[in-house]
Structure 1
Amino acid sequence: MKAFAALPLALLLASGSLAQQAVTASPATDAAPSPAQRALLDRAAQTGATAITTKAAPAGGMIVNGILDGHAFVLVLPANWTGEAVLFGQGYATPGSAPTVPADPLAKDPGGGLFKHLYGEGIASGIIAFDKTGVATESGAKNTMRLRALMTKLGATRFYAVGGSMGGSIVMSLIELYPQAFSGAVSMCGVAQGWLPLVQQLADLRGAYQVLTAGTPYALPGEQDLTRSALPTVPPAGDATPGDAFREAQKMKVLMPLFALFQAAKANPNGKEARIIRQVAAVGGFAPDPAALGAPLYSAALGMDDIVATMGGLPIGNTAKVYDPPEMTAAEKAEFNRRMQRYAASPKAIAYARQWHQATGRFRVPLVTVHQTIDALVPFSQSEGLGRVVAKAGNTGRIVQYAVPPTRMPLPGGLEGYTHCGFTPAQNIAAFEAMRDWVRNGRKPGSDAVR
């Protein structure tokens, strides 16, 4: 669930004082820090940041990398800093990979053009790594608050929470659990309603796919138990394959049968394969599209062990659920329900998912959300669900939601699919500026602020 950027094709195929901690310029630095910048670095070290390095940024600004309480972080500090700061919640990464942050968010903008815009406006930005990959809303929120404390001591006077995909879940955690910490927030393509409905959709999708493709060339490999991951995401002992390459290969093992199913359906739109696609999509609540089924399918197949481990059990259950796939006779539906694996939710896991995080709708700051009407991984229903929750809480005066058209990308085998978080730089920037203007002038943005 990468934040803001369109889903890449590869995804589918201890404290101390300054006297004790070195502050150095990186080899890429074009100029030494100015006296004002040196004073900021001194304060950062005095507040516990370690391994601090700097790199000159355009127009006299500075990029700072370091470690805070054991977590890598990066700050982008313009020379004309207004005192405003954006703290950015990153997206999901496949379990088993290493938590990280971009070394230079201006060179490799994780906000799809937003970081360059912020820098040009004199707004600082910061990102801090999670404790773990996979589902990381808890550590994403807690670590962001650590970074907020650091930036406060550097002189930040107003904070905005921004994030996409899983970062949207982090944004909701921040503004609901730390109500005084931020002045406004933006969630792009976010898991904004919460993990409980999304994890249930992932499991339903995988379960339907397994039932309907069993015994066919399109069946999924690996473990078939829906409460377990289908394939490992860490190379076994003795396997010299680099971890990231191993995980990409595992993704493709899940995706290739699905792509073959879509190729068969493309050749015969009225055949059984096309019917399977429509039924799987309907049961899971995703679009009948190779990316919109593929991304959630591999997320379920590779991420369920992490979900269970993170939440202390299975947060979802379907023991009493009656599935109603389309284009089936009553007898076929009964057989489908008989074959669909049943499992019960753990109260402990439900409680965890509600805390980290199921939206309550009770936040106190302006919130702007943007979602494509069809998204390859986080369905538009997350935006709709959040809207209902906020309305039930009587808090619609603090939220503005935008629905924008979906975008598409090429896939292997001559296929094409929807993107995840496939926003343009203009949309990312417009969403932020709509929220910022709302914070500054007190007027809700109009219906055409993000298009």
Structure 2
Amino acid sequence: MSMRWWYGRVMALAGVIVMAIGLTSGVAAASEHHTGQLPDGATWVADVPAAWNGTTILYSHGFGPLAAQNAPNEETRQALLGSGYALVGSSYSGPSWWALASAVHDQFGALAALERLTGPPRRTIAWGTSMGGLVSALEAEDGGRRLDGVLSTCGLVAGGLNLNNYQLDGEYALAHLLAPAQNVKLVRFANPDEGSASAAALTKITTDAQATPAGRARIALAAALMNGPGWFTGATPPAPADYAGQEIQQQQELAQLVLGFVVAGRYQIELAAGGNSASTAGVDYRALLTGSSHARQVRALYRTAGLDLDADLAALTRDADIRPDPQAVRTLARTSMVTGRLRVPTLNIHTTADQLVPVEQEDWYGGRVHRAGAGPLLRQAYVGATGHCAFRPSESIAALHALESRITTGRWGRVAEPDRLNQAAEGLGGGGRYVRFDPPRLTGGLGEPGRP
């Protein structure tokens, strides 16, 4: 199955919940629609409502085909236009779907192109989704006088190096512990088909292993290394001590969504980086698990299966031999990692159970920002839901209004607290599910236990 097929699958399984929030059918017709092309080949698209409120939203789309977008989905786009916001976004210019080397430049190029038509806005807010959330986080450090604030939604804010490393840790555990004789290729894919073949192999391995207690224990270990939540479907998560129920959810997310998308997607990141940036060599897998919020679950399932967890962790550490390409590491460090040095107010929102961009990324990012001395500029808020970017439009727009309040008043106050965000979402007609939440540490992240 191709990467494009998996992209469509992700959009179907992890799409935004469609909700009506007081929209009228004539919004788009009352807007001026603009398109164009930047010198590097990126395209851009913009919509300016007739009753423009003076605020432009610079929207950064997520990982996928390079097509210009100016909103996360049609429902949110219509709501924003109906409230008077101008919208603009670019396609990015590549060379692959992991377009971080060009994205910030292309986004500001699209903004400048629109401003040549409309004149300067009263206020500009960057808004990004998923990989685009990382683009927006980078814009928060580079935007300076061009931006007034940043809203990062389900953002990949821990960056490309961390993403590649912890995903590889989990993939390596599945391959090495469940099917060592298959020699599944995990990095340095020569073409998209190699990535898709490895994704299919790991998906089958994970599906077959679910039939035995030993397989289920090792799936839970791999999921823990990948920061995989124990909630994939259903209105509520399994109980905190329902370790078997959590593992069922983890196996489903791995087999139905995560492996097919992220393993095949590695080809796109390697293409952009010029090689493999991830490593297993030198990793202490015992330390990685010890630092995981899922460690208790994994230990319990290993006891049930009668397996020696220490032996498996020792084998993973002993046999790990994947080393990175230094140039690829340097490329992603330069293009795809934040410094934490924010220059404008920034609000991040995340679901508490995100299968593709784990909420643990917010803990790593928050630490980075605070160590850089920019903590007062940042707020992070959490929607108690499962799914990647599974926000109601009312929840996203409530966050936008909270950021606007911070920009206007110069202080956060309580505008980004769960009760205030839910109240604002309710006022928009869609309700809110914001909760008080402290994200766990990012297992396998740079600077975290076990990672050299």
* Range into which the TM-score falls when normalised by the shorter chain: 0.7 to 0.9
Normalising by structure 2, we get a TM-score of: 0.72
Q: Name the SS for the 1:405 alignment partner.
A: strand
Conserved? CA contact 2:187–2:276, under 8 Å: yes
Alpha-carbon spacing, 1:61–1:377, altered in 2? closer, same or farther (3 Å): same
Question: Counterpart in 2 of 1:100?
Answer: 67
Question: Counterpart in 1 of 2:396?
Answer: 428
CA RMSD after TM alignment: 3.1
Alpha-carbon spacing, 1:255–1:335, altered in 2? closer, same or farther (3 Å): closer
The percent of aligned pairs where both chains have the same amino acid is 25
Larger radius of gyration: 1
Question: Counterpart in 2 of 1:176?
Answer: 141
Deviation at 1:285, TM superposition (A): 2.4
Normalising by structure 1, we get a TM-score of: 0.72
User: How far apart in 2 are the matches of 1:227 and 1:58?
Assistant: 45
What does the per-residue CA deviation read over 1:340-395, in whole Å, with 9 as the maximum and x for residues that have no partner?
4x222333322322222212111111100011121010011111111111111121
Conserved? CA contact 2:274–2:327, under 8 Å: yes
Which of 225, 229, 237 is residue 283 of structure 1 equivalent to? 225
Which of 295, 311, 329 is residue 331 of structure 1 equivalent to? 311
Alpha-carbon spacing, 1:382–1:318, altered in 2? closer, same or farther (3 Å): same
Aligned length: 362
Question: Counterpart in 1 of 2:59?
Answer: 88
Alpha-carbon spacing, 1:355–1:199, altered in 2? closer, same or farther (3 Å): same
User: How far apart in 2 are the matches of 1:344 and 1:250?
Assistant: 18
Q: Does 1:8 align with 2:11?
A: yes
Unaligned runs of 5+ in 2: 16-25, 230-246, 290-298, 303-307, 422-433, 435-452
Q: Name the SS for the 1:159 alignment partner.
A: strand
1:158-307 equivalent positions in 2, closer than 5 A: 158-214=123-179, 224-229=184-189, 232-233=191-192, 255-262=203-210, 264=211, 271-287=213-229, 288=247, 289-290=250-251, 292-294=253-255, 295-307=257-269
What does the per-residue CA deviation read over 1:224-246, in whole Å, with 9 as the maximum and x for residues that have no partner?
232223x95369xxxxxxxxxx9
Q: Does 1:73 align with 2:44?
A: yes
Deviation at 1:253, TM superposition (A): 6.4
Q: Name the SS for the 2:385 alignment partner.
A: coil
Give 2:31's aligned amino acid.
Answer: G
User: How far apart in 1 are the matches of 2:401 and 2:204?
Assistant: 41
User: How far apart in 2 are the matches of 1:391 and 1:344?
Assistant: 31
Conserved? CA contact 1:186–1:435, under 8 Å: yes
Alpha-carbon spacing, 1:11–1:260, altered in 2? closer, same or farther (3 Å): farther
User: How far apart in 2 are the matches of 1:404 and 1:273?
Assistant: 32
Conserved? CA contact 1:370–1:404, under 8 Å: yes
Deviation at 1:181, TM superposition (A): 1.7
Conserved? CA contact 1:113–1:429, under 8 Å: no
Alpha-carbon spacing, 1:291–1:175, altered in 2? closer, same or farther (3 Å): farther
What does the per-residue CA deviation read over 1:117-155, in whole Å, with 9 as the maximum and x for residues that have no partner?
221121100121122343112222111011011122121
Unaligned runs of 5+ in 1: 13-55, 236-245, 266-270, 408-418
1:385-396 equivalent positions in 2, closer than 5 A: 385-396=364-375
Question: Counterpart in 2 of 1:369?
Answer: 348
Conserved? CA contact 1:171–1:186, under 8 Å: yes
Q: 374-383 vs 70-79, which deviates more?
A: 70-79
Conserved? CA contact 2:143–2:343, under 8 Å: no
Q: Name the SS for the 2:349 alignment partner.
A: strand
